[in-house]
A and B are shown apart, each in its own frame.
Chain A
Amino acid sequence: MDYHSPASFAEASALAENATGITRFLAGGTDVLVQLRSELVTPDTLIDIKKIDGVHDVTRNADGSWTLGVAVTGAEMSEHPELGRDWPGVVEAMDLIGSTQVQGRATLTGNLCNGSPAADSVPAMVAAGVTLSVTGPGGTREVAVEDIPTGPGRTSLVRGEVISAVNIPARGENGGDAYQRFIPRTEMDIAVVGVGVNLRLDGDTIAEARVSLGAVAPTVLLVKDAARAIVGTALDDAALEALAAAASAACNPIDDKRGTIEFRTEVAGVLAKRTAKVAYARAKGEQA
């Protein structure tokens, strides 16, 4: 295994483009090292992106949007005094990942690119409308989070492409987001269902919404029918029932020891309701 620590994304991209065999980027290493140690994946080329300028920065831009470097850890996101006020759902989703020790290393980009359908930060990022800057041999393009995963362990990134920044939109007025997952234990477990909801209110009425589901299909889902079920409502009981029905209808889960198909489908609806209530309360400025 060759280890590189390039000083720029252009160099990282060139290294990846010219590498033979298996290439991995090294952010926090909490997936890469586990796979290396258990001999699931031994990369021929490992490209550590943590020495590139700016990768540890959390920046609020003039228009209120956020740019996060690709080496920013879960712990750094939780400790940031402002980020969690704008995007509590994104921060709480990332914070659910692993232990204190894992939080000290794990990143949003690693969570996304590892390609687990149950990755916790991913539905929250999809609901929030997060995009990635992707640097490749031809320059840099911007891609929505939901367009990155193509199946378990697979992404749409092509050879030589590396994610160079995480872009979170401006929060704007009267908005709120939330993420909840169901796990059989209370800590340190893999999501059986994960739900991200982000919405904006006009008075008491939901003007815009995005609902995303994790762990119920081969990739994260952006469920437009679930958003439609609550837009134009004040999240009354009928809207909540329609939301739950749309969330359950979108599920195409696996059957395993952590949850049967029926269970995951039912829980997706229940969690969608709970998560939407939290996002709604946050949009109203209530503590939730």
Chain B
Amino acid sequence: MSKLHVTTTVNGDEVEYLCDPRETLLDCLRDKLNLTGAKEGCGTGDCGACSVTVDGRLVCSCLMLGVEADGKQIETVEGIADGDVLHPLQKKFIEYAALQCGVCTPGVLVAAKSLLEKNPDPTEEEARYWLAGNLCRCTGYDKIIRAVMDTAAELREAS
């Protein structure tokens, strides 16, 4: 089967890859671009561990084909920190111990960043609904939500 040539932008850098049309964006990120931050928890859109943004829109990269990324702007967890300087969300996640095994964390960070960009002052209920598609087997969610709410407050003060 012939492979398709895809040119896309990931975390600001233009990249190219060849993919089989059946391969998902998640497969392409992990296996072709070595960006293994996004995880495959379920492969069926239920867990959110594969969350990335595409043209600013939060999606599950397991539910999108690699070919569909052509010409798009993709952001993954690898693009959240500025070099060695962690993003405020990442710092708060460490401070609050909002992760245990960490498998859900890349997806949660991408989803939470996308929430705060859309809504800098979410209620706790809004944050919980926004993150309802990010399952966490370990933390019980409370620390995640507290870290997100505190980051939101800090970012509001800073701006």
Contacts and interface: CB of A to CB of B under 8 A. Distances in A.
A3 to B, nearest CB: 4
Contacts of A30: 45, 63
Interface string B56-99: 01111011110110000000000000000000000000000000
Interface string B100-136: 0000000000010011000000000000011111100
Given A37-B62, A100-B111, A48 B68 contact: yes
A150 B54 CA distance: 35
A286 interface: no
Contacts of B132: 99-100, 187-188
Contacts of A129: none
B3 to A, nearest CB: 11
* Residue from A38, A42, A50, A102 having most chain B Cβ neighbours under 10 A: A102
B22 A101 contact: no
A46 interface: yes
A270 interface: no
A69 to B, nearest CB: 16
A191 B122 CA distance: 28
A104 B45 contact: no
Nearest to B59: A104
A46 B134 CA distance: 29
A1 B130 CA distance: 34
B41 interface: no
A98 interface: yes
Contact of B62 (A28, A33, A104): A33
A102 B22 CA distance: 19
B37 interface: no
B22 A104 contact: no
A34 B111 CA distance: 21
A77 to B, nearest CB: 13
Contacts of B114: 100
B65 A3 contact: yes
A253 to B, nearest CB: 25
Interface string B1-34: 1001000000000000000011010000000000
A34 B63 contact: yes
Nearest to B129: A187
B74 to A, nearest CB: 13
Contacts of B22: 1, 36, 42
A2 B51 CA distance: 26
Given A33-B63, A34-B45, A3 B58 contact: no
B113 to A, nearest CB: 12
A34, A50, A73: residue with the most chain B Cβ atoms closer than 10 Å? A34
A101 B60 contact: yes
Nearest to B133: A99
Nearest to A37: B43
Given A33-B64, A75-B57, A101 B21 contact: no
A98 B130 CA distance: 11
B64 A101 contact: no
Given A30-B45, A30-B63, A100 B21 contact: no
Contacts of B62: 33, 37
Contact of B46 (A104, A105, A188): A188
Interface of B: 1, 4, 21-22, 24, 43-46, 48, 51, 54, 57-60, 62-65, 67-68, 111, 114-115, 129-134
13 contacts: A3-B4, A3-B67, A26-B68, A28-B63, A29-B63, A33-B63, A33-B64, A38-B44, A98-B45, A99-B133, A102-B63, A104-B57, A188-B133
Interface of A: 1-3, 26, 28-30, 33-34, 36-38, 42, 46, 48, 50, 73, 75, 98-102, 104-105, 187-188
Top 6 nearest A-B pairs (CB, nearest first) are: A99-B133, A3-B21, A104-B57, A101-B60, A33-B63, A104-B59
